[in-house]
Structure 1
């Protein structure tokens, strides 16, 4: 197997005396779509912030293409990875087109990106995400789900090899959730890689190549979705509040709540 695009080794994070992440280790290969799952408060968002460089980890290391994240400049890091946080409120009344255009900032630091190229790639991203009709709207006027789709389109035009997304579908209806995940899946099939923190276990099972199950700041399991979403793991995390079965057509694991 080729060298990993992302390697996380013994990562830890403390807030005061409280340990939020402890000895997190995993890797992501080129072309993989990997999901981070776990209950509320498990440490998923904290982990994503540490991997993106927005939060300084307490111990361990994160390697991007064999280079330590801690040694990279902000610009170098932005060339290697893009990050979509869980909450990303628009501070200024930019148009949708202007907001997506911010994704070209990194490229423009080292090369001339023509207005024609920006317009073409922005139009393509809008169409892929299904929001072409919003292009002239102000982001401050959009719903939470629409803003998330705009920010996802901005992530796409940044064109970094590794995409980090924290709960990107949390505010989306099921149709747009499927659309976003299909676009992400296709991008990985074309050579990108993605690490996605998510709560919807059925979506994780459908789209992810591997899952990393985090609980109480530690990795509980890593592997194929059907292996990680086992009855044993689910029962341990959620007791008798959910049931686990297999989809009759795809064979993927389905996790659902039920009335006792």
Structure 2
């Protein structure tokens, strides 16, 4: 379980995170919603131990992350960016094998064991057939799945994702989110930021709303994703439109 309690952080005299608190447990997808500049990326950098000088507490399975060495954190938390632009034309297998280096010591390089782990991660996501392809030749959706496979090869059970589907078309967004749902069913804990409330409603177990450095909502998407929250987060007026099949709730803008 990852717990964030009363987290505060400032860039110089500019406070970004004023009082952040939430938690994510095994087998749960938490989606963080909030406008640009509200501190979502800064929050993730604090959680990953990439920023110092924050106040409050961030604990993973009860252990303060400030007491962990970088290698220890890497074995427990993995970061998946929006995109990766490698300097060289690495194969898909090479890209995923890079994730296994967190478990290596000294000057060791990945060997047969690590390659087997990477291949298993690709198969888990249904993209084993891509292992010999050039990563840069893949579609955006395929690249994102490769980055997720790299995180799985890292051996971490907590995945932190910064707007992983923001640059993808609708079909690839859904494909990626469906794969993430399968991972939560296997016990992975997934924390991702996104800008699409409807997507959060369809896939998240919990939604955390951030605005001006504070958590203004935290709960089941069915309970908290409503017109009032959308207006508080994004400063727009919407009205709810119920899907005919009853499986989703959608919003339309009031002009």
Relative to the length of structure 2, the TM-score reads 0.88
Does the CA contact (< 8 Å) of 1:10 and 1:60 recur in 2?
Answer: yes
Does the CA contact (< 8 Å) of 1:107 and 1:113 recur in 2?
Answer: no
> Counterpart of 2:223 in 1: which secondary structure?
helix
- Residue 60 in 1 paired to residue 56 in 2? yes
Q: CA–CA distance in 1 between the matches of 2:140 and 2:67?
A: 35
- Residue 123 in 1 paired to residue 90 in 2? no
Aligned to 2:47: 51
Aligned to 1:148: 144
Does the CA contact (< 8 Å) of 1:12 and 1:57 recur in 2?
Answer: no
Matches within 5 A, 1:34-45: 34-45=30-41
Q: 2:228 aligns with which of 227, 232, 240?
A: 232
Unaligned stretches of 5+ residues in structure 2: none
- Residue 223 in 1 paired to residue 190 in 2? no
Matches within 5 A, 1:152-163: 152-163=148-159
Aligned to 2:198: 202
* More displaced stretch, 244-253 vs 162-171: 244-253
Q: CA–CA distance in 1 between the matches of 2:70 and 2:96?
A: 20
Matches within 5 A, 1:71-150: 71-109=67-105, 115=112, 117-129=113-125, 131-132=127-128, 134-142=130-138, 145-150=141-146
> Counterpart of 1:63 in 2: which secondary structure?
strand
Does the CA contact (< 8 Å) of 2:201 and 2:249 recur in 1?
Answer: yes
- Count of matched residue pairs: 254
Does the CA contact (< 8 Å) of 2:97 and 2:110 recur in 1?
Answer: no
Does the CA contact (< 8 Å) of 1:103 and 1:157 recur in 2?
Answer: yes
CA deviations over 1:79-103 (Å, ceiling 9, x no partner): 1110113353323332221011011
> Given the superposition, is the C-alpha separation of residues 131 and 77 from structure 1 closer, same or farther in structure 2, using an over 3 Å criterion?
same
Q: 2:28 aligns with which of 18, 25, 32?
A: 32
Aligned to 2:13: 17
> Counterpart of 1:94 in 2: which secondary structure?
coil
> How far off is 1:129 after superposition?
4.1
CA deviations over 1:166-187 (Å, ceiling 9, x no partner): 1111122222222221121111
Unaligned stretches of 5+ residues in structure 1: none
Q: CA–CA distance in 1 between the matches of 2:89 and 2:136?
A: 5
> How far off is 1:193 after superposition?
0.6
* More displaced stretch, 178-187 vs 241-250: 241-250
Relative to the length of structure 1, the TM-score reads 0.87
